[in-house]
Every structure is written in C-alpha cells, then in structure tokens.
Amino acid sequence: MTASLKTQSHWFVLYTKPRAEKKLAEQLREDGIESYCPTQIKVKQWSDRKKKIEIPILPSMILVNIKDDERDKVFNRRHAVRYLYWLGQPAKVTSEEVESLRSMLEDSQFESQGLEKLKPGEKLDMTALGFEHIQGTVKFVTAQECWIVLENLGYVLKFKRN
C-alpha cells in the first residue's frame, strides 16, 4: 500500500457491543474521530405509556471516517468490537453513501413515496425516490413497510410508516 493511501481517510463499518452504538459514536467523536450512528425515531408502547425513542438503524454497527493507518485507535474504547470485512479487506463505504444516508434519514422523504409501486427483487436507483448516490434492491414491500438491501454495506434498511 502506498503512503498516500495510508494517510487518506475512509468510512469503515465498525461493529459495536450490543446497544452501544450511540455511546461509542459519541466517545469516538470526543477522541477526534469522525463517526456516524444513523438512527430513526420510533414510538414504543409499554403497558402504561408510549414514548418516542431513537433507535440505530444498523444494529451493533456504526460508521467511522478514519485513516487506514489509524484504524486501531477505535479499540481504545471498550465498546468497539471489530471492523466489518469484505473479501479479506476492511469494508469501505463511500462518502456519497454516508451523506445520502444522512439526508434520507433527516428529510424523511421515504414516508411520502408510493410503496405500492415497488416490487421485491427490483433494482432500485434511490435517486428516483429523491435520494442521492444510494443504490439497492427491494427485498420486501407492503403498504406500510419496505426493506431495501444496500449492496455496498451488505445490509438491509427497514422502513415502516408510522
């Protein structure tokens, strides 16, 4: 690997201990490491009350933007487990995919789309739905729910209408 590639930062997928995603992301930011824990607001029902809570959409995973030669710094925090690997290399996520994920979750444009037009197995260019630089495959769809497989992450995003 050349020296310039080692000093260039990339987004990596980092596994966390269960239910420690938000905490680890915050701790890494305190350490000066850019991290992102994508979340979604859900309403939880208990026997005596309802409450809106923020739930990570990538369970036990966060995204970190760090230089290749500094990747071990995340393990200074006890909630970091390991990096996700793809074909023997640490899995990298493009900046465009991270920004698209951010804008998708912030804008909540997904809620206003006509889900009934989507079919399972359909290759989906998310820009057609108002998102940028995300491509995926529709895995499951109903009038209230849609699962989209993000090939580069090897992950399924599940969306439900409230």
Residues 6+ positions from 4 with CB-CB distance below 8 Å: none
Q: Which CATH class is domain 1-93?
A: alpha beta
Cβ-based neighbour number of residue 66 at 10 Å: 20
What tokens does 69 get?
């030669």
Round to the nearest angstrom and report the end-to-end CA distance of the chain.
48
Amino acid at 77: R
Per-residue pLDDT of the chain (162 residues; tens, 9 = 90+): 555 556 789 999 999 999 999 999 999 999 999 999 999 888 888 899 999 899 898 899 999 999 999 999 999 999 999 999 988 999 999 888 888 788 777 765 444 445 566 678 877 766 555 555 667 777 877 777 777 776 665 667 776 665
The CATH 3.30.70.940 portion of the chain extends over 1-93
